[in-house]
Structure 1
Amino acid sequence: MNRSGEEQERVLLYLEEEARKKQKRKLPLKDKEKWKEHPAYTPKECFQRISRRLRSTLKRGRIPMGMLECLEEELLTFFSVTPHSVYTALMDNSFERLLLHALCQYMDLVSASSDIEGKRQMKVSNKHHVFLPPELLLSDYLEQFS
């Protein structure tokens, strides 16, 4: 996008707002409330979806929260606007990939790493018809333990 940072931010805010409006039209209020109450979407259950190995890594408490929050924001923005698209990122940092895999499991997204021309590529997709982010973000959930 050949626009200034300010213009890009305005476009992103507009797209996020449109996505929220579209999401509200898709789910009646009573369905949204039921979803929030569904046991599979409680923060604890979302955390339990993460593999045991990744959970133990996250519980050690040496997680760079800034990096995790940045990844959360990217995924939330992307899947709120385009829930059926595939998020793709080149990530050479193995720890960043590990965080993204954990985050995807927490958000009930599907992630996969692959080699593309000697670089590691991550692909993330949503296996559901709509994207319903967890009630509590992973970074906020982890901060409860620290």
Structure 2
Amino acid sequence: MNRSGEEQERVLQYLEDEGKSKARRRGPSRGVDRRKEDPAYTPRECFQRISRRLRAVLKRSRIPMETLETWEERLLRFFSVSPQAVYTAMLDNSFERLLLHAVCQYMDLISASANLEGKRQMKVSNRHLDFLPPGLLLSAYLEQRS
């Protein structure tokens, strides 16, 4: 406000040009799914995506691998066919819900638990247009680490 009209014009032009160059940088690659080559999708990074509390449980506890593998298979089958659908499961067992939340975080899926008619319901959805599972599933990653 304290600048001359000419200086104000230069600042506005600079801001306009900066906005256009950012749009160009963002534009063509926007919407392109780079998860296949992105290092954030290595098994280690997928594991780090799991919340600290869940990681601690997975490291400490004796995890029932059969249950973990069953949830991985179900989610893989479901989201491979319908990547934008919502998977729903009724789970009264809190430990099984915890495992499912961990699998979802590892696979970069969104999961939420809620009460429905006195029972616990979990809904799982995919945040991306396509479903690209990690190269190494959580069960295999945990077995590899032990």
TM-score using structure 1 length: 0.75
**What is the aligned partner in structure 2 of residue 23 from structure 1?**
none
Percent identity reads: 73
SS in 1 for 2:36: helix
Retained in 2: the 8 A contact 1:36–1:42?
A: no
List runs of 5+ in structure 1 lacking aligned partners.
1-30
1:132 CA drift (Å): 0.4
List runs of 5+ in structure 2 lacking aligned partners.
1-31
SS in 2 for 1:36: coil
| 1:89-128 equivalence runs, <5 A | 89-128=89-128
1:61 CA drift (Å): 4.4
1:36 CA drift (Å): 3.2
| 1:33-112 equivalence runs, <5 A | 35-112=35-112
- Aligned residue pair count: 115
1:60 CA drift (Å): 1.3
CA distance in 2 between counterparts of 1:134 and 1:120 reads 28
CA distance in 2 between counterparts of 1:138 and 1:61 reads 15
1:37 CA drift (Å): 3.0
**What is the aligned partner in structure 1 of residue 142 from structure 2?**
142
RMSD: 1.4
Equivalent position amino acid for 1:80 in 2: S
SS in 2 for 1:140: helix
SS in 1 for 2:121: strand
SS in 2 for 1:134: coil
Equivalent position amino acid for 2:50 in 1: I
Retained in 2: the 8 A contact 1:36–1:135?
A: no
Equivalent position amino acid for 1:64 in 2: P
CA distance in 2 between counterparts of 1:49 and 1:59 reads 14
Equivalent position amino acid for 1:136 in 2: L
> Runs of at least 4 residues of structure 1 off by over 4 A?
none
Equivalent position amino acid for 2:111 in 1: S
Which has the higher Rg, Structure 1 or Structure 2? 2
CA distance in 1 between counterparts of 2:90 and 2:73 reads 17
CA distance in 2 between counterparts of 1:96 and 1:120 reads 11
CA distance in 1 between counterparts of 2:50 and 2:99 reads 11
